[in-house]
Amino acid sequence: MTELDKKPTFLENVEMMINDTIDCIKIDPNISKILKTCRSVIQLKFPVKIKGEINIFHGWRAVHSNHRLPVKGGLRYSTDVNQGEIEALASLMTFKCALVDVPFGGAKGGLLIDPKKYDEESLERITKKFARELIRRGYLSPARDVPAPDVGTSQREMGWILDAYKSSRPDDINHVACVTGKSVNHGGIKGRLEATGRGVCEALKEFFRHPDEVSKANIGNPNLNDQRIIIQGFGNVGLHSAKSLFATGAKIIGIAEKDGAIFNKEGINIIELEKYKQDKNTILDFPNTKTIDVSSDLLTYDCDILIPAALENVITLKNVDNIKAKIICEAANGPVSYRADQKLKDRGTVIIPDIYANAGGVTVSYFEWIRNISHIRMGRLQKRYEEDRGEVILKALEQVSPNKLSKDLTNQLVHGANEEDIIASGLEDTMRVSFQEMLEMKSVYNLDNYRMAAYAIALKKIEKSYLELGI
């Protein structure tokens, strides 16, 4: 068997990356044992009658660590989902939450289904039955286990789950907090839909604020808006990563989807591409772009930054030698296999790891959960106070200066932060602080990459939590 034939599973890839970090930072061996396994996994097989016929559906929910409660993690609908994948994703959630100081444990769920094969009514029946099965077994509640959207799910499915929970637990006054990623009309929060993609952008912005770190990537021009970027995936994460980066002035030269990819070395107008996809249900043949029939081929095109924003294990030993990007920013969970990761490190490729780069989603999910638990809109208590204080400052400035302030500056002075402002500020601060902690951890343990630094921070925080709990 050749090296290329030895393909570790997604779960094995995650375990090997964690083991490497544990070997470097020497955490308590008993805590190490705890963190190498999921605390619980439930497998569900449940019937749903669809158009007069009984269908059996197969799903999972895994809890990797409950050192903090509730546990947090998305629900994905896919024909590729399996228990190993769910366990791997649950463990990534544990470390992701710890890294960015979100006080949740890690979980993940999945349903073995192709959601495109069902009409909306049938999919609602399936989702609500899945939710009731999870509720019955204690895997869904505001205090214990809070799902969110993932691959194949959206605000719509979260609304159905909320309705199922509310019906099952009518006396729970915090029922709205049983799930995050909901529509704003049903307790969601502005900015959650875009949060993961926006977090990817904030991660890259923070990286480019550190010239010494940027120089290690050998990309020439040290400014983010001068980089040539390729994004694999144009779903929720890929779309909002692209839109956020495009808004900064960055040049998006390639976008890949399941049915193919498009490329233009001069850059793609992401706003126009979004409209085009809405109309055509594809990105292919977008004006002024080259269409690439095999989507994965785009990963090997020359670029400065490659953003895998779809599924795990898209960069492996089979294609790693053809990857030309100087920087890989992991918007998806586990897009680079363990062995490919080793090769890229040896080659000097900078990898901004998934547990940091895509943590925007869980960060804003936390803000949504807090909003739901507190039963008050963020900014409601202080917005008018801030505006009144701004007016006082403005009047004081006008009294001491004969020069009239510009309209833009005046508006800034008297603007009180609304919920969207607070969410954006909280997300930016989270990404900036977490990256700075990664730099510090690299220095303390003399680590040579961000992935190990990110895992080291998470492992140390979780270790402390378990030891303080007496476990």
Q: What is the per-residue pLDDT across 183-198, written as a single tens digit (0 to 9) for each? A: 999 999 988 889 999 9
Residue-level pLDDT at 414: 63
Q: What is the pLDDT of residue 453?
A: 95
Residue 1 has pLDDT above 50, yes or no: no
Summary mean pLDDT of the chain: 90
Does pLDDT of 362 surpass 90? yes
**Two tokens at 402?**
């004969």
By C-alpha distance, which of 470, 468, 444 is closest to 457?
444
The answer to whether the beta carbons of residues 354 and 334 sit under 8 Å apart is yes
Domains parsed from the chain with CATH numbers: 38-186 (3.40.50.10860), 195-357 (3.40.50.720)
- Cα separation, 307 vs 431, in Å, equals 17
pLDDT at 358 over 60: yes
Helix, strand, coil in percent for the chain, rounding step 5: 50, 15, 35
Chain-centroid distance, C-alpha 275: 24
CA distance 92 to 108: 9
Judge whether residue 384 has pLDDT over 70.
no
Confidence (pTM):
0.89
User: Does position 233 have pLDDT exceeding 80, yes or no?
Assistant: yes
Pairing between strand 53-65 and 105-112?
Answer: antiparallel
**What pLDDT band is residue 2 in, cutting at 50, 70 and 90?**
very low
- Which residues are catalytic, by number? 108
pLDDT exceeding 70 applies to what percent of the chain?
93
9-53 pLDDT per residue, tens: 888 888 888 888 888 888 888 888 888 888 999 999 999 999 889
Distance of CA 285 to the CA centre of its chain: 29
Q: Which two tokens stand for residue 336?
A: 């680079």
- Asked whether 233 and 259 are in contact (CB, 8 A), the reply is no
CA 223 to chain centre: 24
Instruction: Check: CB of residue 194 under 8 Å from CB of residue 361.
Output: no
* E strands in 115-180: 145-146
The four Cα atoms 319, 324, 330, 334 give a dihedral, to 10 degrees, of: 20
Q: Is residue 302 over pLDDT 50?
A: yes
pLDDT of residue 381: 63
Average pLDDT over every residue of 65-91: 94
Please tell me whether residue 273 adopts helix, strand or coil conformation.
Answer: helix
Return the structure tokens found at 31.
Answer: 């805590």
- The tokens of 111 are what? 């349903």
Has residue 398 got a pLDDT over 90?
no
Length of the chain equals 471
